[in-house]
Amino acid sequence: RTSCDGQLERGTCRGKPCLSPIPCRNLVADHSDYIQLLRELRALPGVKKVFVRSGIRFDYLMLAHDDFLEELCKYHVSGQLKIAPEHITDRVTHCMGKSDRAVYLSFVKRFQRINEKLGKKQYLVPYFMSSHPGCELSDAVELAEFIRDMGYHPQQVQDFIPTPGTLSTCMWYTGLDPLTGEKVWCAKSYEEKLMQRALMQFWLPKNQPIVRKALRLAHREDLIGYGPKCLVRPEKHTASGTHAAQGKQPAKAKPGVHRNAKAKKKQPPQGKQRRQQRRPKA
């Protein structure tokens, strides 16, 4: 079916996506065919569970009645549901054609409320992307703050990869938004892409040096320190004035023993050696 009744007469709207930055009020959110298919799958002989782990467009789901999300959470979520907000700053979500932060947060609250009603402990696993066209270093820092405030610790993050036939790749290649003609910033250097990716996992010890550098370049030194809102701690200063990396240091080797030296085989006492030599063989 069409997205709305007006699409049959006028075609698709020019310059106005159906779901971004907020869902259009004329969009018809119809999940009846989808939920009917899930019910038929549940009714098949021998089928115990039918799980939906990802692929749900949460902003489209926000237009549906609670009945659909409630049935989804009750029968088709196995503890975690993966969704893809991808970013949270308006500049980047506009380039992505995604809904803004407010829509995502509304869905999070709705998901939590329905699962509390069902008596289930189920969680959302958000998917974020770094270095998408339009994402400047300041946007990456803002995303890191959002991840911190939400208590997320994403184990897997995705760097933008140009793929043929997409608006995002057109922006990456030309540096322009093909719909508006406006210039779009694209992170292409290895260092900046590394910084944006590291900011999404700022708590990892291996990422802290590059995160500190990114925060200084973005003039966000306020996020380097020991406060509850800080992303990383400052470097430790040694007596020589150099910076020492924070984290667990390898144990010191014993005096006179090389760390990589092979341990010598322990020899029995000399008296025991002589007794073994004099003992007749059986």
222 assigned to some structural domain: no
- Give the CA dihedral 239, 244, 246, 248, nearest 10 degrees: -90
CB–CB of 94/21 below 8 Å?
Answer: yes
31 assigned to some structural domain: yes
Taking the C-alpha atoms of residue 157 and residue 130, their distance in angstroms, rounded to an integer, is 8
Please give the mean pLDDT across all residues of the chain.
Answer: 85
Domain of 27, in residue numbers: 7-200
Mean pLDDT over 97-117 rounds to 94
139 assigned to some structural domain: yes
- For residue 152, count other CB atoms closer than 10 A to its CB: 13
109 assigned to some structural domain: yes
Structural domains of the chain, count: 1
CB–CB of 76/114 below 8 Å?
Answer: no
Residue 191 sits in a domain of what CATH number? Answer: 3.30.750.200
Which tens digit of pLDDT belongs to each residue from 112-161? 999 999 999 999 999 999 999 999 999 999 999 999 999 999 988 899 99
Radius of gyration of the chain (CA): 28
Task: Report pLDDT for 32.
Answer: 86
> Is 279 exposed, middle or buried (CB count within 10 Å of its CB: 0-12, 13-18, 19+)?
exposed
Taking the C-alpha atoms of residue 126 and residue 87, their distance in angstroms, rounded to an integer, is 10
Which tens digit of pLDDT belongs to each residue from 152-201? 999 888 999 999 999 999 999 999 999 889 999 999 999 999 999 999 99
253 assigned to some structural domain: no
